[in-house]
Structure 1
């Protein structure tokens, strides 16, 4: 047996674990004794004296993971001129999470993934603390939503598959066809909820959600691409923006409200279709079908733009898929009814009726996206679907066994239909009726009751116990970290709300007409002409919406915070609150003389110089991260001093 020293392993913590190396420690020597131990020449034991080890001293050395592991790594990785560090750390987290499928290295890769997320959040916090103000917010936005190429900076001879076109219509000259990934997208895919819930990330997410930060996102594929003018990541000022600014249609806050209105219109058409389903000529059904085609086109474009992994994190993604499946089945059966001339007594409308629970539930999900119950339902649906699939698979096995058993026992004289046997087993599964157990002797005098009773134990008792345990565990995890879950869902809505495809600017069903007319037009015109036509049509179709957005942003959301105290309106409803002054005092900027007095009361000369850096004299110029680290060290030193003094006093008392 070879014993490796700790110095040989100190530099190998980043290397992948070798399976052959692990198996080498498990090989059995040929000269082992009959008792299973090696002889004295092979040193089957070690001469270690554990009674003299300084266990107490080692315990009270008080090692801090944050100070010994995380903080040195943050100091080494943090570079004010390199904003791709956060992206690289999250990319490593995604890689470690995908590699944990191997059971031998699952815990190792999971620990590495957690460390990458922790380092990414700490590095992002350093950027946030060292860059205050509006420019710091802009820097955070660049870190999170700027696209990075994984092969950027690689040697020239390496193959770069990420730069190849992802679909036949894309080209390398088109800036929208390149496939780059943002740090926020990696955080969503890897479910880095601790990173997303950090203050720095939430500041940037809120700015993008409210439209304070604007940019043109990257997309995998566009149905109606228009990349003639790509907007860089910048701060938005409504005072200098045009009145009909079509880019405000892709602001996540506005986009969520617009999509809610679109779905409410779809629900209204669905209700009118069901109410008038017995009419001779149902124009509501025709309008519902046309509008649903446009709505499904919009949802398909959303899935393709950001990928299914991101779209699946949306709370109502499974409801949209369910409704799309129901509508597809309805459409096929409705065409079949039309061919057989049985529109009033066909199969299409009954299929469409079962979409009511899905659509009404989706409205509730839209109105309360941050509700903990709906967030839990979204998470528990995955566990419920997987477990139900496994239970159905076992259910089919019992069903086949009973069918073959009755054929073998009665020589075909007495047979039960699949429907009857399946109904008996389903009632037993739900605990509603025991008729299947009573009739089981007709399958076989011994094996029939044995199969039915075994199915009752497995399907009813064991399955329900496992299901309740799994759902309870999932719900308890979500409740334990409620804030992080809500902020994660908000980040998903924000990232998905920023659209790149022009098809989203056309409301249903005009998006179908735009796709049928503008896409062929793009092939015969220049990019500039197509951009002019596209923008003009978008502004005409969305003129009421754009005017309303411009009015709200200029008068209620942006200009109100910039008004002077003397220009306030005579009547303001929020002034009735007794806590208005408490809220207003933190929004006002302190005058210069107040800042000077505060600097004199808290002189920075008492703060020691950290890491051989020059300490600025002004409090506003001093990076908050250095002050925070100094305060932590100072508190730790005071605590140790007090503990030592208390221990010394107790020792002296005992000696006396």
Structure 2
């Protein structure tokens, strides 16, 4: 079964990915960021709650509705634009850096919208996008004219992870969502293929969709497992060890007249190493390659190797032993790079190593600036004392003074000039030993403190770079040195002659042939490691059962608890492991009755469903408000059934004085107002008791009679007023 024929698991189709419009999204995000943010803000201010709700969330909701899988990539492209603008427009550098940080925040937020589907999340970060996808032909022609290139030259797509590395979006890379994808790619749980556009030997015959790797459906000799970064790191370490061994043996047995066996082996492994590094730069570009500091060591070794190779060829052709000796002397200097590089393979992402890497970078930069500044002093001293001093001797003297040998500055100062010599050398000694070295130490100390504060973020950033470099689509990366040279010599000419299908078949055959032992080891490891893990798990369960069978006083011994662990942690884990779908149902069963407020009810309803006694303490504002409500309701309902009043009194009867310790602590002490409220409450109870015995029908008849009398009085008054108005009218006439 060919692994390319396996069906993906809910992966986006290539047709869907090719139809995504990227260019309009890039322009829209750029305009949105420039409109929303018009002031320089720090990262802490941009992530504050007010800016998040006012600026970030509206933009995220706007572009999340599009469900465009290239939105994260577009945000990072816009971030690169603002970073370049910050370097060019120094007056607005702060604003441009703030907008670049906002783009990184938007990328993080938009990436979280795809986190529900892990396969789509991987596609968002690993799919290579063309920034001109969705642009009109006029725009593409304008871009070509600005760059002075053809259409094929601008076809260099990148993924969102590569853009994050290129723009140093460390917050995005160190986020848990991104690291989940990076870890899956590094361990080989997620497999995919990237079409090679800049590779030296591209094999794009069968592109693989993104899918979860299942060892049960994979072939035994799966050559794609050689591209897994986890296995690639181990194989790279072994290849580097072979290079170092041949390097040591080559220098141990030098032959000036001819090429010895170990020198030939070293040349083969060094050439294979150079081909691999050059292929890496072609695959991901120089920016991604040089972002890893250890690649700078590799590039430095290759520089030394090519210098050695030039002197060695010159010595063998001319027969001059001087050039051959010089070649071996130059090659010996490469030991200063190879031996530390081997140690950095094992602890490459340690905090000390990360700090050392940045310190070396800043130290080289600082020394370069100091050398340029003191070159004027070198020319001045050579001009003053060129009769006795050469440029080389003056430079060596200045280096000794720079590193602390100040005695030479005073001893040799007069040899340059009797007046200006001591003045110049004293100034140089003061600047180099007092000022500049102090500044250098301060810079390196701040660097260590900054790296130590962001050690986790820096480690995850370097880990992402290693993962992206390890997952390469160039066919040459599937061959281990020195077989990559053989593959290049065979497959590169064949790619111009045979069909892509035949090239793919030949490539798979050569990979399985040259890497047969490695593929067998990987297959056995992936298929039978799970069995070993199951055995270890079973043994752990047996040991746990044995521990649980021990007596209680033995399990609680400090020594045993220190070895096995506290049993309380097991209890906490067991609580959440049991079935608890309806465990919280009893908590809210009586919630309605507990929170029920007093209501007007009849006596019968009160007996059928008695309300709970509310916890209202006498004298509290709540009790006084209820007293007023009772007096008003009673005055309006005197004609009703008097049992309602009794039910009311039962409903508002104060609860027993049952309080918690905090309630007793914060309870208000009785005051004069409380006593007055109690007296008023008792008076209302007395009035209601008196009204209880009054005949209700008699009260109704008396009220009706009063209403009729009031109506007759109103009629008499109306008649009198009419008579008075008529008399007034007659007198007027």
What TM-score bracket applies, with the shorter chain setting the length? 0.7 to 0.9
2:373 maps to what in 1?
A: 394
Alignment partner for residue 67 of structure 1, among 53, 63, 74?
53
CA distance in 2, matches of 1:346, 1:122: 60
Aligned to 1:206: 183
- What's the CA shift for 1:583? 11
Q: Looking at CA atoms only, which structure, 1 or 2, has the larger radius of gyration? A: 2
SS in 1 for 2:293: coil
Equivalences for 1:509-588 in 2 at 5 Å?
Answer: 509-556=482-529, 571=539, 578=564
* 1:282 corresponding residue in structure 2: 260
Aligned 1:145-294 pairs, distance under 5 A: 145-159=126-140, 178-277=155-254, 282-294=260-272
> 1:154/1:514 Cα in 2 relative to 1: closer, same or farther (>3 Å)?
same
Worse overlay, 387-396 or 483-492: 387-396
Kept in 2, the 8 Å contact 1:217–1:498? The answer is: no
- Contact persistence 2:196–2:203 (CA under 8 A): no
Which residue does 2:84 correspond to in 1?
98
- 1:112 is aligned, of 92, 96, 99, to 99
Distance 2:568 2:198 in 1: 49
Q: CA deviation at 1:433?
A: 4.7
Following the alignment from structure 2 to structure 1, what is the Cα–Cα distance between the partners of residues 210 and 185? 10
CA distance in 2 between counterparts of 1:336 and 1:209 reads: 44
The answer to whether the Cα contact below 8 Å between 2:256 and 2:325 also exists between their aligned partners in 1 is: no
Contact 2:33 2:102 in 1 (8 A): no
Question: 1:69/1:531 Cα in 2 relative to 1: closer, same or farther (>3 Å)?
Answer: same
- Per the TM alignment, residue 275 of structure 1 is displaced from its structure 2 partner at its CA by 2.1
1:141 to 119, 122, 134: 122
For residues 160 and 360 of structure 1, do their structure 2 counterparts lie closer, same or farther at Cα, with a shift above 3 Å needed?
Answer: farther
Would you say how many aligned residue pairs link Structure 1 and Structure 2? 529
The 3 A distance-change label for structure 1 pair 160 and 580 is: farther
Higher relative contact order (CA 8 A, sep 6+): 1
State the shift of 1:296 in Å. Answer: 0.8
Alignment check: 8 A CA contact 2:34 2:99 kept? no
Alpha-carbon offset, residue 439 of structure 1: 1.9
1:298-309 alignment, distance < 5 Å = 298-309=276-287
Report if aligned partners of 1:216, 1:230 keep a CA contact under 8 Å in 2: yes
Q: Distance in 1 between matches of 2:246 and 2:338?
A: 12
Residues 1:73 and 1:578: Cα distance change in structure 2 (over 3 Å): farther
Partners of 2:196 and 2:202 within 8 A in 1: no
Cα pair distance change 1:568/1:468, threshold 3 Å: closer
1:122 paired to 2:109: yes
Q: Is the 8 A contact 2:409 2:429 kept in 1?
A: no
- Identify which range, 177-186 or 520-529, moves more after superposition: 177-186
Q: Work out whether residues 162 and 179 of structure 1, in 8 Å CA contact, stay in contact via their aligned partners in 2.
A: no
Of residues 399, 416, 439, the one that matches 1:426 is 399
CA RMSD in angstroms, aligned pairs only: 3.6
Write the distance in 2 (CA, Å) between the matches of 1:507 and 1:586. 50
Listed as ranges, the gaps of 5+ residues in structure 1 are 1-10, 19-61, 408-413, 607-648, 650-656
Contact 1:93–1:116 under 8 Å retained in 2: yes
Displacement, 1:340? 4.1
For residues 571-604 of structure 1, what are the alpha-carbon distances to aligned partners after superposition, in whole Å with 9 as ceiling and x for unaligned? 579978846999999999x99x92633685899x
What TM-score do you get using the length of structure 1 for normalisation? Answer: 0.73
Take 1:351 and 1:274, find their aligned partners in 2: how far apart are those partners?
11
Q: Which residue of 1 aligns with 2:719?
A: none
Matched, 1:346 2:346: no
Q: Contact 2:144–2:151 (CA<8 Å) still a contact in 1?
A: no
Aligned to 2:70: 84
Equivalent positions of 1:583-602 (< 5 A) are 594=579, 596-597=581-582
Instruction: Judge conservation of contact 2:196–2:204 (CA < 8 Å) in 1.
Output: no
Q: Would you say 1:492 and 2:458 are equivalent positions?
A: no
Helix, strand or coil at the partner of 1:549: helix
Query: Could you tell me how far 1:517 is from its partner in structure 2?
Result: 1.9
Identify the residue that residue 34 of structure 2 maps to in structure 1.
14
Instruction: State how far apart, in whole Å, the 2-side matches of 1:437 and 1:93 are.
Output: 54
Q: Report the Cα offset of residue 453 of structure 1.
A: 1.8
Structure 1 residue aligned with 2:307: 329
Contact 1:146 1:182 (C-alpha < 8 Å) held by counterparts: yes
SS at match of 1:307: helix
Aligned to 1:621: none
Q: Any conservation in 2 of the 1:337–1:347 contact (CA below 8 Å)?
A: no
Find the aligned partners of 1:161 and 1:583 in 2 and give their Cα distance: 66
Q: What is the CA-CA distance between 1:171 and the residue it aligns to? A: 7.0
CA positional deviation for 1:498: 0.5
**Whole-angstrom CA distance in 1 between matches of 2:265 and 2:569:** 50
User: 1:511, CA displacement in angstroms?
Assistant: 1.4
Contact persistence 2:80–2:100 (CA under 8 A): yes
CA-CA distance at 1:80 after TM superposition: 7.0
